Structure 1
Amino acid sequence: MDDLPAFSLLLPIYRGDSAEHFRRAFLSSVEGQRLRPAEVVIVRDGPIPAALERELRVRIEASPVPVVVVELPENVGLARALTAGLSAAKHEVIARMDADDIAQPERFAVQLPLIASGLDLVGSAIDEFVEDGDVTRVIGRRTPPLRHDEISRRARLQSPFNHPSVVFRRGAVDAAGGYRDLPLMEDYWLFARMIQAGARTGNTAEALVLYRVDAGAYGRRGGLRLLRSELRLQCDLRRTGFTSRRQLVRNVLVRAGYRLVPQLVRRAAYRRVLVDRSVDHVVETPDGRT
């Protein structure tokens, strides 16, 4: 793997993150990887609880790779936090990681060769999981479109990437205008603009990230705040010529409606349409928990 590019791992944290979840995210995406990042850039998005602060210090001291901490005095939101992290990263290739997910050991060993082959943006399938005490159960898999042409078509309707799984070239992000503030839709808006700007994209069907689904997951996918972001996104996609008028109408009717239905209906629709539930099983996570 000596011919693969060095890369930075970008991991934002904020006051709502769990110290234990952050520990597992860090260990799985750094020490547990067959191919480790050359550095970790942690963006502390505003003040964080004492337990999370202690865990952060432990991870910095014990890390086998350099850790850079970008400290933002106030919570500025994900888009601005990620932008600050990108500015601090030393390497052209950047891997995203969320503070409550778990990376599979082969994640970067699978994705970096795809970047080295010439792709600018690479994601993967993800396994959604829940925890019951010490038991970790995968309850579904989200597999994105794999080839660039499929990704481009899907992007007109919904995000073609599972955002916690992506690795990208910073130059391709910059060419698309970088992250822009759009609450809860920042990643989709960036991916669409990257595709429109000519980024070469791909996904792998291998589930390389365990994605935590907690009790509030379906509630966060709805509500007026997300509806406002959804409508703004759809208008921006149309304004830039990424979608047609017909696609705009279709997306507003389907996606805005999805944001407004009761949570139980939203959960049922999401699980039926977007998630492969045949993979339901108990797993041993990379840190040895089952």
Structure 2
Amino acid sequence: MALAEPLTPPELPARFSLLLPVYAGDTPERLHRAVESNTVEQTRAPAEVVVVQDGPVPPELDAELERLVRDSPVPVRLVRIPENRGLAHALRTALPSCSYDVVARADADDVAYPRRFELQLPLIEAGADLVGASMHEIGDDEGTPLALRAAPVGAQRILAVSRRRNPISHPTVVLRRSAVERVGGYEDAPMAEDYWLWARMLHAGADVRNVAEPLVGYRVSAGSYERRGGYRVLRAELALQARLRALGHVGFLQWATNVMVRGGYRFVPVRVREAAYRLMVGRRNG
């Protein structure tokens, strides 16, 4: 009599790393809050935190980093980069230090809501390569959202939005490191390293999803929308659009539209720029 096939054990819940970059402009208080909200306050916590220090930091921030390594109930590993080289370099350097294929991103001044990973991890476990979410804009008072950045939901919607703007909010992302590495990882793309990575993943057929519920409080300051304008940002935008066209992610007409609309956006008054951006990503889904 033939032996019965052995039962396949159920898939274990994914253990995952939290990857969080820090640089000289961050503060000890907000770093502490970011780590706390992404670990001990989560209904489903990461197994480790990998903090990448992008260049020298002030003594107070360095002391907080040392305290986290020493005292955090979730193990913290610190990757130090001697010189500030920017976000893409920091993430490219630190990603291999993550112990798990599933990696969640967080920024050092944002706040994660308690059910963030409880809602995102099941999608990864179901086969997604990358999962983002909607997020709130917040100021000093994290309990009073200033605006909603609504994420496009559904594969076709995400792909369509990606031809016009970034469809995934970087501080909300949970990803598979192997899927990121298959398309070459984080590459230098001034002010658009995340968008450029998502576009390459989508173009390669990656399973990219969003959770409609806001899962992160994203801190904005008085200068946040000012920094979205000017010639330096325009140059970065034109370089990105050229890359998207060369990749085949956008055609000529979409490229021309993006250059005119997104280029012109860089030179409207700040109040108009803020209103236009919040209308685009907040009041309508895409």
Same topology, TM > 0.5: yes
Moved over 6 A (4+): none
Question: 1:36 maps to what in 2?
Answer: 45
Q: Write out per-residue CA displacement over residues 37-77 of structure 1, whole angstroms, 9 at most, x where no aligned residue.
A: 11111000000011111111122222112211110000010
> How far apart in 2 are the matches of 1:84 and 1:71?
10
Question: 2:71 maps to what in 1?
Answer: 62
Q: Normalising by the residue count of structure 1, what TM-score does the alignment of the two structures yield? A: 0.91
Question: 1:205 maps to what in 2?
Answer: 212
Question: 1:116 maps to what in 2?
Answer: 125
Contact 1:29 1:102 in 2 (8 A): yes
- Aligned AA (1:113): P
The reply to whether residue 139 of structure 1 matches residue 146 of structure 2 is: yes
Match of 1:91 among 91, 100, 112: 100
Match of 2:23 among 14, 22, 32: 14
Question: 2:81 maps to what in 1?
Answer: 72
Question: 1:103 maps to what in 2?
Answer: 112
CA drift at 1:131: 2.2
> How far apart in 1 are the matches of 2:11 and 2:129?
20
- Identity, % of aligned positions: 49
CA drift at 1:274: 2.3
> How far apart in 2 are the matches of 1:212 and 1:40?
21
Q: What is the DSSP-based 3-state SS (H/G/I as helix, E as strand, rest coil) of the residue aligned with 2:249?
A: coil
Q: Write out per-residue CA displacement over residues 155-210 of structure 1, whole angstroms, 9 at most, x where no aligned residue.
A: 11101111100001011101111111112111000000010111101111111101
Contact 1:140 1:276 in 2 (8 A): no
Larger Rg: 2
Q: Write out per-residue CA displacement over residues 134-165 of structure 1, whole angstroms, 9 at most, x where no aligned residue.
A: x7420111111111111111111101111100
Question: 2:277 maps to what in 1?
Answer: 270
Match of 1:227 among 234, 256, 267: 234
Count of matched residue pairs: 275
The reply to whether residue 252 of structure 1 matches residue 259 of structure 2 is: yes
The reply to whether residue 193 of structure 1 matches residue 200 of structure 2 is: yes
The reply to whether residue 51 of structure 1 matches residue 64 of structure 2 is: no
CA drift at 1:15: 0.4
> How far apart in 2 are the matches of 1:69 and 1:21?
17
Q: What is the DSSP-based 3-state SS (H/G/I as helix, E as strand, rest coil) of the residue aligned with 1:43?
A: strand
Q: Write out per-residue CA displacement over residues 7-64 of structure 1, whole angstroms, 9 at most, x where no aligned residue.
A: 1100000001111111110100011111111111100000001111111112222211
> How far apart in 1 are the matches of 2:227 and 2:27?
17
Q: Normalising by the residue count of structure 2, what TM-score does the alignment of the two structures yield? A: 0.93
1:276/1:19 Cα in 2 relative to 1: closer, same or farther (>3 Å)?
farther
> How far apart in 2 are the matches of 1:273 and 1:168?
25
Name the Cα RMSD after superposition: 1.5
The reply to whether residue 167 of structure 1 matches residue 186 of structure 2 is: no
> How far apart in 1 are the matches of 2:213 and 2:275?
25
CA drift at 1:2: 8.2
Q: Write out per-residue CA displacement over residues 98-148 of structure 1, whole angstroms, 9 at most, x where no aligned residue.
A: 01100001111110110000000100010111225xx74201111111111
Q: What is the DSSP-based 3-state SS (H/G/I as helix, E as strand, rest coil) of the residue aligned with 2:49?
A: strand
